[in-house]
Amino acid sequence: MARAGPAWRLLLLLAIGVVLPTWLSSAKVSSLIERISDPKDLKKLLRTRNNVLVLYSKSEAAAENHLRLLSTVAQAVKGQGTICWVDCGDAESRKLCKKMKVDLSPKDKKVELFHYQDGAFHMEYDRAVTFKSIVAFLKDPKGPPLWEEDPGAKDVVHIDSEKDFRRLLKKEDKPLLMMFYAPWCSMCKRIMPHFQKAATQLRGHFVLAGMNVYPSEFENIKEEYSVRGYPTICYFEKGRFLFQYDNYGSTAEDIVEWLKNPQPPQPQVPETPWADEGGSVYHLTDDDFDHFVKEHSSVLVMFHAPSSDVLAAVDATVNKALAERFHISEFPTLKYFKNGEKLAVPALRTKKKFIEWMQNPEAPPPPEPTWEEQPTSVLHLAGDNFRDTLKKKKHTLVMFYAPWCPHCKKVIPHFTTTAETFKDDRKIACAAVDCVKDTNQDLCQQEAVKAYPTFHYYHYGKLIEKYDSDRTEVGFTNFIRTLREGDLERLGKRKEEL
């Protein structure tokens, strides 16, 4: 049989209805982008995926550029986020778009990007429509925008990879000031506006660049340029590193002035560490801590930072293993050890209090009972009973927490009072999971708990949404009452029908 010619093949494709529009076939739209027109399909998708970006378009042609971009994004966030497309131009999808409150009627509006998280609408995507920005957003939907998304940072050269960094050093003849930073760093956020203002003032004469080196892939760069904290700002001439710029409290004017005559940091007279001043206080380290508190029957330990010196002491900024072990989150923090066992310490913030208590430290006040040990109406769940308990309750608000977390401590009284409010309703429960316990760590990981506290609402054991509203008794109570009133409203309608 003779092979079919191009015309016959085209007719065959037309006959079976698989010919795509020319623009769509040439755009190489990723198979990871699902086209949806049925409301039930979208509802199912939002119920089964917790991080969804939906492209709504006025027509197929209007979606062309976005689909090309989102095809590359979909590959980059595979397994972390889901992208789908709804063409509001056809009759069936038009109903879906109306139901999802998508308005593409204005002449200048061709597409909308809506983000849904944990089954509910999160926000209209309003950041830069670029590969890097959308990928960063889908990897952290509630994270801050990228530095380069700030219009004021247009004159800062933003570096994404080690390859681009090496290329910049090789080709750039102008003096270069490079800021190595981390997105979460508060000091970085403070200096960024000044850095970008200086970049604009010095445009054409100097290059000011920024690079997020927090990810582990940049360990080589951090080692090479001694990046021990954020930000670290390095000065280069003709691709050669000369020295660091260490005035992190500077303004744009300070940076401009310094670049007129760049000089290495001046050696500072080192502050004498408390440990070197002598005295009767034993200064402990990661290496000798355990031995010391076991060897001495009664030890009061103060975890401190060098600048907050107020008698054994641990510099928690140096001995980080100990600071993490004892959950030190603020300075100073006092811990009392009796025969190597940690006991509670009363408020000792004055010299008089220190002396009075140390004269009789043999009977320290009894330790405060843990939240779980206190008689409350909160259900304290663990990995072995979590699922079975939640399946028996119609509405359960669960607080995932860590006992040492300051934010958790603040919210516990509000959450406990809320549980007391609904204690007589057998369908409603307020539950808590201590994610620090070994038996609960797998559970917290399965429930995607990444920060403390995290609140999840479950319906008969099924995760419905993440609670992100007011963390007070009023906020929790109103949320649960809304759920209960919704049940009563549905019950009333059912009675009317009968």
- Cβ pair 188, 181 in contact under 8 A: yes
Which carries the bigger pLDDT value, residue 461 or residue 355?
461
What are the tens digits of pLDDT across the range 403-460? Answer: 888 889 999 999 999 999 999 899 999 999 999 888 898 899 889 888 889 999 999 9
- Is beta strand 454-459 parallel, antiparallel or unpaired with respect to 462-467? antiparallel
CA–CA separation, 203 and 206 (whole Å): 6
CA–CA separation, 157 and 5 (whole Å): 53
CA–CA separation, 393 and 482 (whole Å): 16
Q: Which residues pair with 179 in a beta bridge?
A: 210, 233
Q: Which residues pair with 467 in a beta bridge?
A: 455
For tokens 């021990």, the residue is 228
- Cβ pair 371, 432 in contact under 8 A: yes
State the average pLDDT for the chain: 82
Which carries the bigger pLDDT value, residue 221 or residue 278?
221
- Give kind and range of the element (H or E) at residue 86: strand 82-87
- Other CB atoms within 10 Å distance of the CB of residue 163: 9
What are the tens digits of pLDDT across the range 20-31? Answer: 444 444 446 778
Phi-psi label, residue 239: left if phi above 0, alpha if psi -120 to 50, beta otherwise? left
What are the tens digits of pLDDT across the range 53-96? Answer: 999 998 888 988 999 999 999 988 888 899 999 999 888 888 88
Find how far residue 79's CA is from the centre of its chain: 18
Give the per-residue pLDDT at 165: 94
Model's pTM, two decimal places? Answer: 0.47
- Is beta strand 240-245 parallel, antiparallel or unpaired with respect to 298-304? unpaired
